Amino acid sequence: MRALLQRVSRASVTVNGTVTGDIGAGLLILICAMQGDTEAEADRLSAKIVKLRIFKDEAGKMNRSLRDIGGAALVVSQFTLAADLRGNRPGFSYAAVPDLGNRLYEYFASRIAAEGIAVKKGIFGADMDVSLNNDGPVTIWMDTADL
């Protein structure tokens, strides 16, 4: 699985004019299931994300986790994280097929919630308008192949 984390002071996702999820301080997590991914990758990735110390402590150092700050997560499916850029037009054949992608997206979000994090979501496969205030900015790329 691949994820792009953005530390935010606020973030929201809107589908067809309706806000489907919004959070205050926490993480916007753009997530993509790749071919061959299973629940094991979602488990590893979710466990790592909630413990990742990327929030400021009293001294202004990145030393606190999402759990430590009582932050929330806005989880948004993003198959374009699987882009193959060998040509001028991206290909997405490395992404999981939609049924598996949706199942792993929902499973991943449930694993974040199981860690005690408030979770809001986008809608899998929908055309979404994502809005955020990137705090820092702090943006981190993660791939389970590298964990």
From its phi and psi, is residue 26 left (phi > 0), alpha (psi between -120 and 50) or beta? left
Q: Which of 6, 18, 38, 80 is catalytic?
A: 80
Among candidate residues 78, 92, 124, 139, the one labeled active-site is 78
pLDDT tens track for 108-145: 999 999 999 999 999 999 999 999 999 999 999 999 99
Q: Decide if 92 is catalytic.
A: no
The active-site residue out of 79, 108, 124, 139 is 79
Residue type, 119: V
What confidence score (pLDDT) does residue 124 get?
97
Which pLDDT does position 28 carry in this prediction?
A: 98
Locate all alpha helices (DSSP H) within the chain, ordered by sequence. 39-51, 66-69, 98-114
Q: Active-site residue 144, yes or no?
A: no
Q: Is 79 a catalytic residue?
A: yes
Complete domains list, the chain, with CATH: 2-142 (3.50.80.10)
